[in-house]
C-alpha cells in the first residue's frame, strides 16, 4: 500500500471549496512514506500527537482538537465552532475520524454519523509509493506555491517556520510537519497546546462504533491530486 499525508481528508469531507482542500493537503505534507512491520502505511513521522487550536475570524470562532496515532493511519478531529455567514450563525459540534481511506463524520448534537470513502486516498497513495519522500515533499510544496519566509515563530512553546502561498494563506510548520498556525480567507487557526507522544483517548477513535452510521455523500467527483495541482496558478 502507498502513502498519504495526515490530516487532509478532514477538510476534504467538510467542504467542496478547492482552496480549502489544498490548504490542508499542503500544511500536513511531511517527509514520511513507509510501512511498519504489519504493513500499515506510516503517514507521518510523529507516531502520536495531539494539538489543540483556537479558531477565529470572519466566518468562524471556536476550538478544535486534532490528534493522530499509529503514525497518522488513525486520526480524529473535534470541532466546536460557531460559523457565521451573511448574518446567520450556526453552532457546529462535529467529531471526524479517519482510518485509512474511510472518513466518519459524527454530529455530536444528534449522535449520528456518516461514513464516506476518501476519493483522493488511492490517487495520492499511488503517486507517493514509488517516490523518494523528501523529493515528493519538495515538489508538492513547490506545486502548491508555498514559499518559506525564512522566519520562525514560537507558538505553544514550539518553534515553527512560516510559509506563504497566494492561494492558501500563511502557515507555520514545525520541522516534523505538525501545523501550529494557519491564516486563510480571513480566518485564523492557532495552536494552544502541543502534545507529542500522546495520541488522545481511545474512545475518540472508536466513537463511530457507538452511534448510528449512514452512508455519507458521494465524493467521487472531487478532483484527484493531479487535477488539483493542474488548477493551481504557476509562479
Q: Rounded to whole angstroms, how far apart are CA atoms 123 and 194? A: 31
For residue 133, the number of C-alpha atoms closer than 13 Å in the C-beta half-sphere is: 16
Task: Report the range of poorest mean pLDDT among 57-66, 79-88, 215-224.
Answer: 215-224
Stronger pLDDT, 63 or 84, i.e. the higher one: 63
CA angle, 172 then 175 then 180, to 5°: 30
Please say if the pLDDT value at position 26 is more than 60. no
Tell me which of 138 and 154 has the higher pLDDT: 154
Amino acid 135: pLDDT: 54
Cα separations in angstroms, 185 against 17, 103, 210: 12, 25, 36
- Please state whether beta strands 88-99 and 102-107 pair in parallel, antiparallel, or not at all (unpaired): antiparallel
Q: What is the DSSP string of 66-122?
A: EEEEGGGTEEEEEEEEEEEETTEEEEEEEEEEEETTEEEEEETTTTEEEEEE-TTHH
What is the chain's percent helix, strand, coil content, to nearest 5? 25, 45, 35
For 64-99, how does the pLDDT look when each residue is reduced to its tens digit (9 = 90+)?
Answer: 999 999 888 899 999 999 987 777 888 889 999 999
For the ranges 40-49, 74-83, 199-208, which has the lowest average pLDDT? 40-49
User: What is the rounded average pLDDT of the residues 116-136?
Assistant: 60
Residue 166 and residue 181: Cα distance in Å, rounded? Answer: 16
Q: Provide the pLDDT confidence category of residue 28 given band limits of 50, 70 and 90.
A: very low
CA–CA distance, 82 with 93 (Å, rounded to integer): 9
Whole-number Å distance between alpha carbons of 170 and 146? 9
Domain ranges of the chain: 9-53+61-144+199-219
Amino acid at each position: 500500500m502507498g502513502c498519504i499525508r495526515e490530516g487532509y481528508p478532514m477538510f476534504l469531507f467538510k467542504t467542496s471549496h478547492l482552496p480549502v482542500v489544498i490548504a490542508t493537503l499542503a500544511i500536513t505534507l511531511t517527509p514520511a512514506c513507509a510501512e511498519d512491520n504489519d504493513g500499515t502505511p506510516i503517514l507521518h513521522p510523529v507516531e502520536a500527537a495531539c494539538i489543540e487550536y483556537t479558531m477565529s475570524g470572519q466566518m468562524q470562532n471556536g476550538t478544535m482538537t486534532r490528534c493522530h496515532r499509529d503514525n497518522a493511519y488513525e486520526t480524529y478531529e473535534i470541532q466546536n465552532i460557531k460559523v457565521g455567514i451573511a448574518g446567520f450563525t450556526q453552532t457546529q459540534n462535529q467529531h471526524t475520524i479517519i482510518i485509512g481511506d474511510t472518513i466518519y463524520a459524527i454530529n455530536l448534537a444528534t449522535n449520528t454519523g456518516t461514513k464516506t470513502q476518501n476519493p483522493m486516498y488511492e490517487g495520492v497513495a499511488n503517486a507517493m509509493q514509488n517516490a523518494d519522500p523528501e523529493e515528493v515533499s519538495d515538489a508538492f510544496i513547490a506545486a502548491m506555491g508555498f514559499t518559506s519566509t525564512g522566519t520562525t515563530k514560537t507558538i505553544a512553546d514550539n518553534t515553527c517556520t512560516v510559509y506563504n502561498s497566494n492561494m492558501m494563506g500563511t502557515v507555520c510548520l514545525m520541522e516534523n510537519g505538525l501545523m501550529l498556525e494557519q491564516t486563510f480567507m480571513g480566518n485564523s487557526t492557532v495552536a494552544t497546546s502541543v502534545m507529542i507522544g500522546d495520541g488522545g483517548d481511545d474512545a475518540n477513535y472508536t466513537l463511530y462504533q457507538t452511534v448510528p452510521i449512514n452512508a455519507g455523500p458521494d465524493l467521487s467527483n472531487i478532483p484527484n491530486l493531479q487535477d488539483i495541482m493542474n488548477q493551481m496558478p504557476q509562479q
